Amino acid sequence: MIDLQVVVGKLNGMSADGIAKLFNEEGITGSTFEAFSCPIANYVKRETGQVVGMCAGWIHAGDEKIFFTGKEPMVEFMRRFDRGVYPELRSNRDS
């Protein structure tokens, strides 16, 4: 399993659209406005093996928490996803 910092660094090294492309290619989906089942939480859980929560200000897995300034690509992806920009990444229960 990969460390949370490594996964966050990987995602924040991409654009919001790049994150969406990665998730689409890897079959990652999730629910809008759900900290524990959004696509980012589902991807990070898959990579780290830990339950993950994500919001605009932070992400946490286990005892580790990373805070954001709000300008990171992960945060921008989440905002766009919640606004419906990436409908192909929505899980069935979100339809």
How does pLDDT run across 40-84, given as a tens digit for each residue? Answer: 999 999 999 998 898 878 898 888 888 888 889 999 999 999 999
- Residue 88: DSSP 8-state: G
pTM of full prediction above 0.75 = yes
* Predicted local confidence at residue 93, as pLDDT: 59
Find all residues with CB under 8 Å of 17, minimum gap 6, and list them.
none
| Separation of alpha carbons 57 and 85, rounded Å | 20
Q: What percent of the chain has pLDDT over 90?
A: 68
Average pLDDT, the chain: 91
* Predicted local confidence at residue 94, as pLDDT: 55
Residue 95 scores a pLDDT above 60: no
Helices (H), the chain: 4-12, 16-26, 39-48, 73-82
Q: How many CB atoms lie within 10 A of CB 60?
A: 19
